[in-house]
């Protein structure tokens, strides 16, 4: 899968949040977007996934050369896009495992073998150190912040998208959990040849991951591109040096 974001401008409730972003992610690549609060990172991920109240006023989003601007979220998911939400919604009465199974069947168009499916779920719950309790609960209902993040990674592992966007996968996690999530995300992506786009404020999670491309976003624009050295620079100088710079 190749994702191309071209001169993208996005407005919500009359306010422009994304102001001309260009970004290309090729098959299997690992990108990171870092930036201060309110820089438009989450909006960018949501608009790629097709969040309905975000309006694209200019530019385009292409998957393998085809515009997906007019596509609904489910069609984008079927193309292989996945968004790990910063704050996943709680849905009472929809079973966590039932939902993942329904989603998988919807994406693949095939029925799942329940025994094999549960085996897969259990293997990831062990790897991600998820308590089995959440398997028996409603979707995200009553999950702690850490459980929600891990449950999202579990969905990513089972649904096997071609490009996974992870919006702040480290927020709300303790130090040990950050390591567990980071190493598992990278391992799953590598195994399934998945492209990754990780959005984060902090470099903490990146000490356990090896992104190929790092982008700094400020005020709705990507203001710097580079590799891991950008993370080092951020550690030393903070976001201030990037906020007013022009790419």
Question: What does the binding site for other proteins look like in residue numbers (CB under 8 A)?
Answer: 49-53, 72-74, 76-78, 82-83, 85, 88-89, 91-95, 98-100, 102-104, 106-107, 133, 136-139, 141-142, 155, 159
Whichever of 138 and 183 has its CB closer to other proteins, that residue is 138
Distance of closest approach, residue 115 Cβ to other proteins, in angstroms = 17
Q: Which is nearer to other proteins, 167 or 206 (by Cβ)?
A: 167
In the block, tokens 């608009």 appear at: 47
Shortest Å distance, C-beta 48 to other proteins: 10
How far CA 242 is from CA of 88, 221, 246, 247, in Å, comes to 30, 11, 8, 9
| Minimum CB–partner distance for residue 154 and other proteins (Å) | 12
Backbone CA torsion sign across 70, 74, 165, 173 = positive
- How far is residue 51's CA from residue 180's CA, in Å, rounded to a whole number? 29
> In 3D, which of 154, 155, 149 has the Cα closest to residue 176?
149
Give the shortest CB-93-to-other proteins separation in angstroms: 3
Shortest gap between Cβ of 133 and other proteins (angstroms)? 7
Residues 6+ apart with CB under 8 A from 146: 172, 173, 174, 177
Nearer to other proteins, 57 or 98 (CB): 98
- The single-letter DSSP state of residue 113 is -
Q: How far is the CB of 179 from other proteins (least distance, A)?
A: 26
Which SS3 state, helix, strand or coil, does residue 82 take? strand
Instruction: Judge contact between 197 and 167, C-beta under 8 A.
Output: no
Query: 153 or 224: whose CB is closer to other proteins?
Result: 153
Q: Which residue lies nearer to other proteins by CB, 53 or 116?
A: 53
| Residues contacting residue 8 through CB under 8 Å, at least 6 positions apart | 18, 20, 21, 22, 44, 47, 56, 58, 59, 60, 61
Please identify, using beta-carbon distances, which residue of 98 and 207 lies nearer to other proteins: 98
């Amino acid at each position: 899968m190749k994702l191309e974001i071209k001169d993208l401008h996005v407005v919500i409730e009359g306010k422009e949040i994304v102001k001309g972003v260009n970004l290309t992610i090729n098959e299997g690549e690992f990108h990171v977007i870092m930036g201060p609060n309110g820089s438009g990172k989450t909006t960018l991920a949501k608009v790629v996934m097709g969040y309905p109240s975000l309006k694209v006023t200019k530019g385009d989003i292409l998957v393998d050369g085809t515009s997906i601007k007019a596509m609904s979220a489910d069609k984008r998911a079927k193309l292989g896009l996945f968004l790990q939400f910063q704050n996943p919604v709680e849905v009472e009465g929809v079973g966590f495992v039932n939902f993942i199974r329904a989603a998988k069947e919807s994406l693949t168009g095939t029925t799942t073998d329940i025994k094999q499916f549960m085996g897969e779920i259990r293997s990831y719950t062990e790897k991600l150190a998820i308590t089995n309790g959440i398997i028996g609960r409603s979707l995200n209902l009553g999950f702690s912040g850490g459980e929600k993040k891990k449950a999202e990674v579990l969905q990513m592992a089972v649904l096997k998208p071609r490009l996974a966007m992870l919006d702040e996968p480290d927020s709300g996690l303790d130090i040990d959990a950050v390591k567990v999530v980071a190493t598992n995300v990278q391992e799953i992506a590598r195994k399934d040849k998945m492209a990754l786009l990780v959005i984060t404020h902090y470099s903490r999670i990146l000490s356990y991951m090896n992104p190929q491309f790092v982008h700094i976003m400020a005020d709705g624009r990507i203001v710097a591109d580079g590799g891991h050295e950008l993370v080092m620079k951020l550690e030393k100088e903070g976001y201030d040096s990037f906020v007013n710079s022009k790419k």
